Amino acid sequence: MKKRPLFYLFCMVASIGGIFLTSCNDDDYAGAAPDEITAHYSNKLSDGTRSNFALTYSGHELIWKSVNLETNDSRTAQLSLQCILPHEAETRLTDIPLSPDGQGGYTFSGNATGSQTGTTFSYSGTVQKGKLALDIENPQIPTNPLVQAQKLNFVKAGVVLRISIGGMDIGELIEAKIDEFLKTVLRNVSFHADGNITASYSGMQGSDWKSSPANLASFYMTDGNTLYVTPNVDMIIRQIRLNQAVTRASDNLITVLPKVYALLNQWSTTGLKFAYTENYAITLNKAELDPIFALLKVLPDAIRDISIGEIPVLGETTIGTLADLSALISDLSLTLYFSVENAG
């Protein structure tokens, strides 16, 4: 009987302690715990069914991107955007308030400015265990001559091509062919304030002009004379598949994709570097074209018997010849000349 008060006291302390521990461990988070949502989220084609990231940019789906979310308390978070803004390898968002959504996850939103480029934007999203959705809304890159011009009509192409044997300049010999080809497939290019590039293009056999979807490529100008264009390889590949443009030998194309990815990887962050002049001329020099020749060397097996849209099949011999010729080229540049639509 003497021990019973001590027994009751022990039970009461244990009960209070249990309630306290339960409140600390279970009720401290209104949704998922920090370790359940702190993760890397990605939507690249190579992720396949493991993709756990849904992203829109200016209201259009964007893939081949990833983010890292970190939180210690499920109340505020840090978000690292990987190559989502044009010409910005990483954009860090800090002290983001997390609001419980009542379903075990959280919502968040805010406004931000890219630290590397000065691009302004707003964002909103949701996160739950194993899944994150993010909308980048109203992104605006710093104003530049191309944004001000908006839409440029293609006028002509200029080619410089010098072969090391005898210093021959054979650019003029192929310039007419390239010019004719580009005028057949390209009508105009639009440079949007959000950094998107779209184009009016056509097939090779007199088909109707079409407008390219958003988010296939982006651009950024670091100064008045330097332009970077970044192709979104995953978006382009998926668009080809959606259009059922690859009609034959698709297995060969899939086989070569890892090599293509490796060669184009340098363009996925910084992009292709062009020289820009005030008369709306955009020039691609040899240093930027060299990876294309490297790409040609892995393409012959992949492109044999492939027809892309209405563009005729490219012969393996022709592609192989161009790849071999690259070793003899001492100087090479391709200039595209444009005019402002409705200028004057």
Q: What topology does CATH give the domain 34-140?
A: Lipocalin (2.40.128)
Supply the pLDDT for residue 256: 58
Supply the pLDDT for residue 261: 64
Supply the pLDDT for residue 79: 98
pTM given for the model: 0.81
Query: Quick one: 72 exposed, middle or buried, by C-beta within 10 A (0-12, 13-18, 19+)?
Result: exposed
Backbone phi, psi, residue 311, to 5°: -80, 125
Supply the pLDDT for residue 322: 59
Helices (H), the chain: 4-25, 34-37, 145-149, 171-185, 233-242, 250-264, 286-298, 300-303, 316-325
Contacts of 237 (CB under 8 A, 6+ apart): 45, 257
> 3-state DSSP call for residue 232?
coil
- Using CA of residue 307, residue 313, residue 316, residue 318, what is the dihedral sign? negative
Q: In a structure prediction context, what are the per-residue pLDDT tens digits for the chain, which is 344 residues long?
A: 455 555 555 555 445 444 444 444 445 799 999 999 999 999 987 778 889 999 999 999 999 899 999 999 999 999 999 999 999 999 999 999 999 999 999 999 999 999 999 999 999 999 999 999 999 999 999 999 999 998 999 999 998 877 766 666 777 777 888 888 889 889 999 999 999 999 998 865 556 888 999 999 999 999 889 999 998 888 887 877 776 544 444 455 555 556 666 666 667 777 889 999 988 999 999 888 777 777 766 665 555 444 434 444 444 555 555 566 677 788 889 999 999 986 54
Helices 286-298 and 250-264, axial angle in degrees (round to 10):
150
Supply the pLDDT for residue 117: 93
**What distance in Å separates the CA atoms of residue 83 and residue 88, rounded to the nearest whole number?**
6
Q: Which two tokens stand for residue 22?
A: 């339960």
Pairing mode of beta strands 131-140, 151-163: unpaired
Supply the pLDDT for residue 175: 83
Supply the pLDDT for residue 259: 63
Q: How many angstroms separate the Cα of 294 from the Cα of each of 135, 283, 319, 333?
A: 36, 20, 11, 16
**What distance in Å separates the CA atoms of residue 290 and residue 329, rounded to the nearest whole number?**
10
